[in-house]
Structure 1
């Protein structure tokens, strides 16, 4: 009778999957939590609510009208008599430029319409009134 030595099974190198899965889930939770804290800085206004609001993805010129009726371009307050010149300068020769008016919901409608009228006179091809989605 021949006796043969049994071959020992080779150990296979295995990656610790539990540690990798834990790290991936921790990164996922980190990114989910930090994206909720990213807020747009600027003038404090409460936008009107609308059920059919859609996110704006296009590069635009934004004019903010606060509750007191003051107009802002970016962080800079612009008096209404000078708003035409500033918008004309920003729009330039672009005919189809979109101007978004972000008016506070407490602002008198006449102020928001006046800002929209100034933007249209300055050469804005399209106007948009910003709203926030009503849940």
Structure 2
């Protein structure tokens, strides 16, 4: 009687294709992810204990510590601000404004900007802070 011997299978696993797939997935996610860049206008936001993270905004108004006024990334003169903001808000579906104000800005300037925002017909606005 003749017995057949079973073939011994090697327990080794070739991981080269696995490494290739991992690198391809890594490359895919790196190329398709959205790179988030910091705004070009540098300001020091005031601290807040109750600050909440908000989603991306429609209109961003920035006031630097020197009193420079920006609508998005574009510098704006305070005298023309109401008309410029009104034109910008008419292009948006949901007119929501976010104010990014340096903590060194005078309260009088902030109040005049808030008045301009209200005069431009803005439905709602918020003042951005950063958490402690």
TM range (shorter): 0.7 to 0.9
CA drift at 1:7: 2.3
Secondary structure in 2 aligned to 1:41?
Answer: coil
Which residue does the alignment assign to 1:124?
122
Structure 1 alignment gaps of length 5 or more: none
Which residue does the alignment assign to 1:82?
80
Does 1:44 find its partner at 2:42?
yes
CA drift at 1:58: 4.3
CA drift at 1:96: 5.1
Asked whether the equivalents of residues 58 and 94 of structure 2 are also in contact (C-alpha less than 8 Å), the reply is: no
Q: TM-score if structure 2 supplies the norm length?
A: 0.77
Does 1:53 find its partner at 2:51?
yes
Asked whether the equivalents of residues 58 and 97 of structure 2 are also in contact (C-alpha less than 8 Å), the reply is: yes
CA drift at 1:44: 1.2
Which residue does the alignment assign to 2:97?
99
Which residue does the alignment assign to 2:15?
16
Listed one character per residue, the Cα deviations across residues 78-118 of structure 1 (whole Å, up to 9, x for unaligned) are: 11110001001011176851111100001101111211110
Q: TM-score if structure 1 supplies the norm length?
A: 0.75
Matches within 5 A, 1:62-77: 62-77=60-75
CA drift at 1:71: 0.8
Secondary structure in 2 aligned to 1:102?
Answer: strand
Which residue does the alignment assign to 2:6?
7
